[in-house]
C-alpha cells in the first residue's frame, strides 16, 4: 500500500463521517416533511398556523396551533429577558474581571449547568418552584409562563455565557491596551471597546441560546402547565409546541390526522429554529470584525 | 472473506427462521390504546415464562382492533367498549364470531388537594367544570377559589374514557392544563389546592383526595358492581371461544399473576368477580 493511496483512504473516511451527519439530518428532514405534509390535504396551512383551537382527537378534529406557537414564543422571550443579562454579564466577569482562580471555578460550574439533564430541571421546577410561586404570589397555579421561563433561562445561560465568553476572549489585546493608554478606566474599556468589538459574537450567543430555549421539550412539558389557550397574563399556563408533540405523539394513532398534525407542528418548530440559526449566522458574518479582531 | 461472511449470515438466518417455524406460536394483538399497557405488561411476562411464543402487539384504537378481528388480521382485538351491533353483523357476514372476555376494569376517579373542602361532585358538575362553565369552587360548595382544571393529553386512554363517560364528548376548555401522565397529575394536585384532576384508580395515593361521584366512592367493588359511574370494563375480543395459544394467553391475563400486572398498570383487577367472560352479542 503506497503512502498516497493510504492518504486517499484516510481522506475518504473523514469525508464519509463528515457527510454522514449531513445525510442523517437530510433524512430526518425528509421524514419530517413526509409525515407532516399530508395534514395539509385536510386543512390549509393558514388555518393550521393561525387556527386558535387545538382539538385533534375530537370529531371533527381542529388543528389550530396558534396558541402553541404563542406559548413557545412567550416562554422563549421571557427566558431571554432573564438569561441574556445573566449570561452576558457572567461572561464579561469571567473573561475580563475575575482573577484566574475564580475564573476556572466559574467556568466549570457554568459548564456543569449545561450538563444538567432537563428532566431534573423540570422536576425541580414542578416540585420546588411551582408550589413556592403559588404560595408567594397567591396564584391559582405555579405551572405557568414565569416558571417555565426561569427554567429555560437556566438552560440557556451556559450557551449564552460560553459563546459570549469566547467572543470577548477573541477581542485582541491591542484594543484593550490602546484604550488603557488613552486613560480609559477598566469599566469604560469593557463597555466602549470590548463589548462593541465582541457584539457579533454576543448576538450569535443570544440567538443560539434562544434556539436552545424554543426547542427544549422536557422542561416546558413539566412546568409550563400545558393549557392550549392564548395566555392573558404571565401567570397563565401555556403549552409550547415541543410539549404538545411530546405529550401526544406517544398515543396518536399512526397515520391519523392527529399524527400528521404533530409532525406538521414539528415542521413549524424546525423552521423557527432554522430561522434563528440563519440569523445567528448572518449576524456573525455581517458584523464580523476584520483584521486582528476576527473571532 | 466477504463470501464467507455472507454464507455465515445466510446460514444463521436460516437457522433462526427454521427454529421459529418449529417452535414459535405467534399471536397478533391489536386495538385499544387503553388496554395496550395491560397487553404489553402481560405479554412480556407471558413471553418470558413461555419462550418461543411470539406475540406482536399494536395499538390504533378499539375500532381498529375490531376491524382487524373482522378481517382476520388479528387474533385478539383489545377494546375499551363493547362491540357495536353493526360490527357484529359485519363480522357474522364474514364468518367471524366475536366473543368478549373482560380482562380488567378501568375506573377513573376525580381528585383534589386534601385541603379542598369539596367531597362530592355530580357527573354534570364535573362536566361543567371541565368545559370551563363552572369556574369557582364556591359554585359547587367549596371555598371562593378559582378552579384550576387539569386534564390529560387528548390522545391518552384515560382522557378518552373521561371524555366519554363524564363530558359525553363535549370539548374540554382550552385553558385546562395538561399533564402527560397519571403520576404527574397526582404530583400537581398534591401541591395545588385550586386544582382538580382525574386519574386511573390504581394511581390514587394519600397525597390527594378522591371525590365521590354522584355520592359513590370509586373502588374496585363499586366499579365492578357498576354503582360507580366513571368505570368501564375492558375487553379482549376473539373469533369464537379463545383456543390454543390465544386461550393460554388470555387465561394468563385472567390468572392471579396476570391480574396483579393489571393492578400494577393502574387498572382495577377482576378479583372477586365471578363473571369473567361474557359471550358476544347475538
Whether A222 and A278 share a structural domain = yes
3-state secondary structure chain B: CHHHHHHHHHHHHHHHHHHHHHHCEEEEEEECCCCHHHHHHHHHHHHHHCCCEEEEEEEECHHHHHHHHHCCCCCEEEECCCCCHHHHHHHHHCCCCEEEEEEEEEEEEEEECCCCCCCEECHHHHHHHHCCCCCEHHHHCCCCCECEEEEECCCCHHHHHHHHHCCCCCCCCCCCEEECCHHHHHHHHHCCCCEEEEEEHHHCCCCCEECEECCECCCHHHHHCCCCCCEEEEEEEEECCCCHHHHHHHHHHHCHHHHHHHHHCCCECCCCCCCCEECCCC
Q: Give the number of A-B residue pairs with CB atoms closer than 8 Å.
A: 88
- Per residue in A181-202, pLDDT (tens digit) is 999 999 999 999 998 888 888 9
A57 touching chain B per CB within 8 A:
yes
> Is the CB of residue B194 less than 8 Å away from at least one CB of chain A?
yes
One domain, residues A164 and A84? yes
- State yes or no: cis peptide before B182, omega within 30 of 0: no
Angstrom CA distances, A199 to A107, A278, A289, B133, stand at: 21, 17, 9, 52
- CATH number for the domain harbouring residue A197: 1.10.3720.10
Q: Are the C-beta atoms of B177 and B150 separated by less than 8 Å? A: yes
Q: Cβ of B95 under 8 Å from any chain A Cβ? A: no
Domain boundaries, position A160: 45-294
Contact A237 B175 (CB under 8 A): yes
A248 at B interface, C-beta within 8 A:
yes
- Nearest-CA distance B26 → chain A (Å): 23
Give the chain B residue whose CA is nearest to the CA of A222.
Answer: B179
A70 shares contact with chain B (CB less than 8 Å) = no
36-75 in chain B: CB under 8 A from chain A:
59-61, 64
Residue closest to A148 by CA, chosen among A66, A54, A242: A242
Residue among B59, B61, B174 minimizing CB distance to A229:
B174
Q: Do A33 and A154 belong to one domain?
A: no
> pTM of the full predicted structure?
0.75
CA distance A259 to chain B (A): 10
DSSP H helices, chain A, are 3-36, 45-50, 66-92, 100-114, 118-124, 130-137, 145-169, 173-181, 186-188, 195-197, 199-215, 218-223, 241-249, 257-286
| DSSP string computed for A190-217 | IIIIIHHHTHHHHHHHHHHHHHHHHH--
Residues A164 and A223 grouped into a single domain: yes
Task: Choose the closest CB to A247 out of B61, B174, B180.
Answer: B180
The parts of chain A modelled with pLDDT lower than 70 are: 1, 251, 288-295
Q: H or E segment at A235? A: none
Is residue A70 domain-shared with residue A8, that is, in the same domain?
A: no
Same-domain check for residues A92 and A115: yes
Mutation target for B interface from A119, A137, A141, A249: give the one with most B CBs within 10 A. A141
Most B CBs within 10 Å, among A51, A54, A140, to test the B interface: A140
CA distances (Å), origin B140, targets B82, B147, B214: 34, 10, 13
Chain A hits for B175, CB-CB cut-off 8 Å, are 227, 229, 236-237
B205: left (phi > 0), else alpha (psi -120 to 50), else beta? beta
Query: In B181-201, which positions are buried (b, 16+ CB within 10 angstroms) versus exposed (e)?
Result: bbebbbbbbbbbbbbbbbbbb
| Interface test with chain A among B153, B184, B190, by most A beta carbons within 10 Å | B153
- Per CB-CB distance under 8 Å, the chain B contacts of A136 are none
Which residue does chain B place closest to A223, by CA atoms? B179
Give the number of other CB atoms < 10 A from CB of residue B123: 15
Q: Name residue B148's beta-bridge partners.
A: B195
Tell me which chain A residues have a C-beta less than 8 angstroms from the C-beta of B194: 140-141
Contact A54 B64 (CB under 8 A): no
A241-249 vs A66-92: helix axis angle to the nearest 10? 120
A287 and A168 housed in the same domain = yes
Looking at beta carbons, which residues of chain A come within 8 Å of B177?
A: 141, 143, 225-227, 237
What pLDDT does residue B24 have? 59
Looking at the fold, whether A79 and A175 belong to one and the same domain comes out as yes
Nearest CB partner across the interface for B148, out of A58, A141, A251: A141
Residue listed under C-alpha cell 369556574? B135
Residue A157's Cβ-side half-sphere holds a number of Cα atoms within 13 Å equal to 23
The contacts of residue A264 (CB under 8 Å, 6+ apart) are: A36, A37, A39, A40, A48, A63, A65
pLDDT tens-digit series, residues A268-295: 999 999 999 999 888 888 776 555 544 4
Q: Does B169 touch chain A (CB under 8 A)?
A: yes
All 3 cell numbers of residue A253? 394513532
Q: What residues have CB less than 8 Å from A198, skipping those under 6 apart?
A: A164, A167, A168, A170, A171, A295
CA–CA distance, A198 with A294 (Å, rounded to integer): 9
A151 and A271, same domain (yes or no): yes
Asked if A107 and A30 sit in the same domain, the reply is: no
Q: How far apart are CA B277 and CA B104, in angstroms?
A: 11
Quote the CA–CA distance of A206 and A161 in Å, as a whole number. 9
- Cα→Cα distances B136→A216, B140, B171, B191, B195, Å: 34, 8, 19, 18, 11
Q: Does B195 touch chain A (CB under 8 A)?
A: yes
**Per-residue pLDDT tens listing for chain B (282 residues):** 455 555 655 555 544 444 444 445 789 998 887 788 899 899 999 999 888 888 888 877 788 888 889 888 899 999 888 888 888 888 999 899 999 999 999 889 999 999 999 999 999 999 999 999 999 999 998 889 999 999 988 767 788 889 888 998 788 998 899 888 888 899 889 988 899 999 988 788 899 999 999 999 988 888 888 889 999 889 999 999 888 889 999 999 999 999 999 988 878 888 654 444 444 433
pLDDT of residue B20: 42
- Collapsing DSSP to helix, strand or coil, A124 comes out as helix
Q: Is A230 exposed, middle or buried (0-12, 13-18, 19+ CB in 10 A)?
A: middle
B191:A67 CB<8 A: no
Chain B nearest CA to A253, separation (Å): 5
Judged by a CB distance cut-off of 8 A, whether residue A246 touches chain B is: yes
A242 touches chain B (CB under 8 A): no
Q: Are residues A140 and B33, on separate chains, in Cβ contact within 8 Å?
A: no
Contact: B174, A54; criterion CB under 8 Å: yes
**A191 Cα to chain B: minimum distance (Å):** 45
List all residues 6 or more positions away from A253 whose beta carbon is below 8 Å from its beta carbon. A259, B33, B59, B60, B61, B64, B155
CB–CB contact A57 B169 (8 Å): no
Report the C-alpha gap between B140 and A71 in whole angstroms. 31
- 3-class DSSP assignment, residue A289: coil
Which residues numbered 101-140 in A keep a CB inside 8 Å of some CB on B? 126-127, 130-131, 134, 140
Three-class secondary structure of residue A225 per DSSP? strand
Q: Report d(CA B36, CA B132) in Å as an integer.
A: 31
pLDDT for position B212: 94
Examine the domain organization and report whether A105 and A196 are in the same domain. yes
Write out residues 146-205 of A within 8 Å (CB-CB) of B.
Answer: none
Phi/psi-derived region of residue B244, left when phi > 0, alpha when psi is between -120 and 50, beta in every other case = left
Whether B272 has its CB under 8 Å from any CB of chain A: the answer is no
At B7 the pLDDT is 61
Q: Residue window 8-37, chain B: list those with CB within 8 Å of chain A.
A: 33
Per the structure, how many domains does chain A have?
2
Cα distances from A231 to residues A41, A121, A239, B107, B149, in angstroms, run 30, 23, 10, 33, 15
Per the CB < 8 Å rule, is B178 touching A140?
no
State the smallest CA–CA distance between residue A151 and chain B in angstroms: 17
Identify whether residues A49 and A25 lie together within a single domain. no
Amino acid at each position: 500500500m503506497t503512502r498516497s493511496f493510504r492518504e486517499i483512504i484516510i481522506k475518504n473516511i473523514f469525508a464519509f463521517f463528515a457527510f454522514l451527519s449531513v445525510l442523517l439530518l437530510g433524512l430526518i428532514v425528509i421524514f419530517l416533511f413526509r409525515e407532516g405534509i399530508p395534514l395539509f390535504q385536510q386543512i390549509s396551512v393558514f388555518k393550521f398556523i393561525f387556527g386558535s383551537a387545538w382539538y385533534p382527537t375530537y370529531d371533527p378534529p381542529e388543528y389550530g396551533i396558534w396558541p402553541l406557537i404563542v406559548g413557545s414564543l412567550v416562554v422563549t422571550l421571557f427566558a431571554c429577558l432573564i438569561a441574556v443579562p445573566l449570561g452576558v454579564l457572567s461572561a464579561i466577569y469571567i473573561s475580563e474581571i475575575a482573577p484566574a482562580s475564580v475564573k476556572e471555578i466559574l467556568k466549570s460550574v457554568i459548564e456543569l449547568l449545561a450538563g444538567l439533564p432537563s428532566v431534573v430541571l423540570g422536576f425541580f421546577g414542578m416540585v420546588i418552584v411551582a408550589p413556592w410561586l403559588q404560595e408567594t404570589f397567591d396564584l391559582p397555579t405555579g405551572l405557568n409562563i414565569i416558571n417555565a421561563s426561569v427554567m429555560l433561562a437556566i438552560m440557556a445561560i451556559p450557551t449564552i455565557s460560553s459563546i459570549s465568553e469566547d467572543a470577548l476572549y477573541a477581542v485582541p489585546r491591542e484594543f484593550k491596551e490602546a484604550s488603557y493608554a488613552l486613560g480609559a478606566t477598566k469599566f469604560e474599556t469593557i463597555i466602549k471597546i470590548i463589548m462593541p468589538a465582541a457584539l457579533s459574537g454576543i448576538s450569535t450567543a443570544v440567538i443560539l441560546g434562544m434556539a436552545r430555549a424554543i426547542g427544549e421539550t422536557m422542561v416546558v412539558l413539566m412546568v409550563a402547565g400545558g393549557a392550549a389557550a392564548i395566555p392573558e397574563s404571565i401567570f397563565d399556563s401555556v403549552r409550547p409546541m415541543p410539549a404538545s408533540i411530546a405529550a401526544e405523539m406517544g398515543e396518536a394513532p399512526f397515520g391519523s390526522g392527529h399524527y400528521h398534525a404533530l409532525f406538521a407542528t414539528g415542521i413549524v418548530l424546525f423552521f423557527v429554529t432554522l430561522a434563528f440559526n440563519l440569523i445567528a449566522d448572518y449576524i456573525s458574518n455581517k458584523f464580523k470584525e476584520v483584521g486582528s479582531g476576527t473571532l | 472473506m466477504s463470501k464467507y461472511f455472507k454464507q455465515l449470515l445466510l446460514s444463521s438466518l436460516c437457522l433462526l427462521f427454521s427454529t421459529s417455524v418449529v417452535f414459535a406460536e405467534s399471536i397478533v394483538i391489536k386495538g385499544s390504546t387503553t388496554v395496550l399497557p395491560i397487553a404489553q405488561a402481560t405479554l412480556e411476562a407471558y413471553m418470558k415464562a413461555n419462550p418461543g411464543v411470539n406475540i406482536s402487539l399494536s395499538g390504533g384504537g378499539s375500532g381498529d382492533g375490531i376491524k382487524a378481528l373482522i378481517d382476520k388480521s388479528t387474533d385478539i382485538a383489545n377494546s375499551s367498549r363493547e362491540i357495536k351491533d353493526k360490527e357484529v353483523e359485519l363480522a357474522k357476514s364474514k364468518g367471524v364470531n366475536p366473543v368478549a372476555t373482560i380482562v380488567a376494569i378501568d375506573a377513573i376517579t376525580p381528585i383534589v388537594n386534601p385541603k379542598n373542602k369539596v367531597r362530592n361532585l355530580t357527573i354534570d358538575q364535573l362536566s361543567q367544570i371541565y368545559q370551563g362553565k363552572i369556574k369557582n369552587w364556591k359554585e359547587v360548595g367549596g371555598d371562593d377559589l378559582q378552579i384550576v382544571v387539569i386534564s390529560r393529553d387528548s390522545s391518552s386512554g384515560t382522557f378518552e374514557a373521561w371524555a366519554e363517560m363524564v363530558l359525553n364528548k363535549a370539548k374540554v376548555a382550552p385553558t385546562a392544563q395538561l399533564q402527560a401522565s397519571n403520576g404527574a397529575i397526582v404530583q400537581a394536585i398534591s401541591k395545588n389546592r385550586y386544582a382538580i384532576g382525574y386519574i386511573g384508580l390504581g394511581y390514587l395515593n394519600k397525597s390527594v383526595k378522591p371525590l365521590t361521584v354522584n355520592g359513590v366512592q370509586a373502588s374496585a367493588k363499586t366499579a365492578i358492581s357498576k354503582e360507580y359511574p366513571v368505570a368501564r370494563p375492558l375487553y379482549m375480543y376473539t373469533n369464537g371461544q379463545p383456543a390454543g395459544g390465544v386461550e393460554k394467553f388470555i387465561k394468563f391475563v385472567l390468572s392471579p399473576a396476570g391480574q396483579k400486572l393489571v393492578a400494577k398498570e393502574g387498572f382495577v383487577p377482576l378479583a372477586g368477580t365471578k363473571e369473567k367472560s361474557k359471550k358476544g352479542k347475538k
